[in-house]
Amino acid sequence: MASMGTERASSSSSFTPCWTYDVFLSFRDEDTRNGFTDHLYFALKQKGIFTFRDDEKLERGKSISPKLLKAIEESRFAIVILSRNYAYSIWCLDELAEIIKCMKEIGITILPIFNKVDHQMYESRQELLQKLLLNTKRRTKRRCKNGELL
């Protein structure tokens, strides 16, 4: 399960967010869990970096749990592991939308990692990020009408 840590605070403004986690890992389970993501998670943990990695496998048709959304909001950094199928996952796109929202609202820092992404599939990393953001925006527009979830 997720590694728990002590709360952290930033002293730069009157709003001082408290971080429960140093890092939130966002990844496509079937692409990277039993390889890169596991190695990264355990390396971070070994260095004393409090890291949230969702160990629950979501069933198709289920939405992201409130626990997962809360973990994103309570993380100082989000490491987004962009793999071949990341952009095709509803859950990954929902996570990414929440991470971007937190970046804008509370200053979470996003660290993208490109993992085994076929360079011929995308002309550049910038193109991949643009496609991810476009898919996220489209998904959000379909799900929201007047600020309410459809």
Q: Mind listing the pLDDT tens digit for each residue in 55-76?
A: 766 555 567 788 888 999 999 9
In the block, tokens 């399960």 appear at 1
Residue 3 domain flag: no
Q: Tokens standing for 50?
A: 């409090």
Domain interval for residue 35: 8-149
Number of H helices, E strands in the chain: 5, 8
pLDDT of residue 150: 44
Decide which of 150 and 74 is more confident.
74
- Whole-angstrom distance, CA of residue 25 vs CA of residue 114: 13
Q: Does residue 104 sit within a domain?
A: yes
Would 60 be classed as within a structural domain? yes
Spatial distance between the Cα atoms of 19 and 7, rounded to a whole number of angstroms? 5
DSSP label of 56: S
Query: Is 30 designated active site?
Result: no
Q: Is residue 1 part of a domain?
A: no
The percentage of residues in the chain with a pLDDT greater than 90, rounded to a whole number, is 29
Name the active-site residue from 30, 95, 98, 123.
95
Q: Total domain count for the chain?
A: 1
70 in any annotated domain: yes
Instruction: Give the confidence band of 77 by pLDDT, cuts at 50, 70, 90.
Output: very high
Tell me how far apart the alpha carbons of residues 52 and 78 are, in angstroms, rounded to a whole number. 9
Give the predicted TM-score (pTM) of the model: 0.70
Q: Is the pLDDT of residue 1 over 80?
A: no
- Mean pLDDT across the stretch 13-27? 78
pLDDT tens string 84-114: 888 888 888 888 889 999 999 999 999 988 8
Domain CATH number, residue 112? 3.40.50.10140
- Residue in the structure block whose two tokens are 């990954």: 92
Evaluate whether residue 24 is within a structural domain.
yes
